[in-house]
Homo-oligomer: A and B are copies of this chain.
Amino acid sequence: MSRLRVELPGLDLKNPIMPASGCFGFGREYSQFYSLDQLGAIMVKATTHEPRFGNPTPRVAETTSGMLNAIGLQNPGLERVMVEELPWLSKFDVPIIANVAGSTIEDYVTVAEEISTAENVHALELNISCPNVKEGGLAFGTVPETAYEVTKAVKEVSSVPVYVKLSPNVTDIVQMAKVVERAGADGLTMINTLLGMRIDLKTGKPILANGAGGLSGPAIKPVAIRMIHQVSQQVNIPIIGMGGVQSAEDVIEYFLAGASAVAVGTANFVDPFTCPTIIDALPALLDELGVHHISELTGRSWKTEWNLQSSSH
């Protein structure tokens, strides 16, 4: 399996496939389907300093080839994550990427500082792009200055590398990426959900109690691919790509665009075995593409050396 092995800041991944934050809880439920040892890593649900109940229900709505969610960062809070969830996960041989959220920079700093000390947390994912909370959340991810500040502050306290999760709801994603790189981010994860809404014809009101929510699933994949294609050419830190991934083919498309690893979100709900199925399918697909190691594919869509090489085929 070494052809799938990927090394990223803080992460030595046996394969580049991991469940995306918020779509896998803290792993307990999916561990009933398969052993979590198989996964490259796990991005666990966002953790905030205090426990949060999140938004009122309905919290999800289906859209054509996508879904909206407005969970609102419900989580048991830092303390219980440290005492119950992360220790439970430590029985698996899989690095954890802790998703950190908050309403103020201090919140982020507090959570990051402590959670990064957990033994199995190998990296942080700074969630500055959650569209579903009133304060903080998306604001951090759409204003370059705040994105810079929160990244820098977290970098100062974190014991592990910090990945920043970018919001697609911006005019200039490259600018955001560069800003957080400058602030010291070790990597990027992208994309978080697009802001969307559905309205119920019968009630005349939005289906989600929260009104708007985050759009995920296959519908958004082309937006993610475009953004990763743009950003990967402009930054020197690796990107974990996500948005609508369902198959090994999708994973390859993300690598070609410029990703170095890939996360699977919504697809877990559709088919709980999506991650292991993709991991199993990748080697044969690499053979078909004539590629030895998956990392060779990162950024091929824009790398000119590869253009030259391939035209001599």
Contact = CB atoms under 8 A, between A and B. Distances in A.
Contacts of A300: 204
B197 A63 contact: no
Contact of A63 (B196, B215, B222, B306): B222
Contact of A64 (B65, B169, B206, B252): B65
Contact of A206 (B196, B221, B301): B301
A301 B199 contact: yes
B223 A194 contact: yes
Interface residues of A, number: 46
Interface string A110-125: 0000000000000000
A212 B197 contact: no
A205 interface: yes
A197 B219 contact: no
Contacts of A195: 223, 226
A20 interface: no
A212 B229 contact: yes
B65 A201 contact: no
Most buried by B among A64, A289, A301: A64
Nearest to A204: B300
Given A198-B253, A204-B306, A206-B301, A63 B226 contact: no
Contacts of A68: 222
A64 B218 contact: yes
Contacts of A65: 64-66, 218-219
B225 A197 contact: yes
B142 A171 contact: yes
Contacts of A219: 63-66, 218-220, 222
Given A204-B256, A204-B301, A206-B301, A244 B64 contact: yes
Interface string A298-311: 00110000110010
Interface of A: 63-66, 68, 142, 169-171, 194-199, 201-206, 211-212, 215, 218-223, 225-226, 229, 244, 249, 252-253, 256-257, 289, 297, 300-301, 306-307, 310
14 contacts: A63-B219, A64-B219, A66-B222, A169-B171, A194-B194, A195-B226, A196-B226, A197-B226, A199-B225, A199-B229, A201-B252, A204-B300, A212-B229, A219-B219
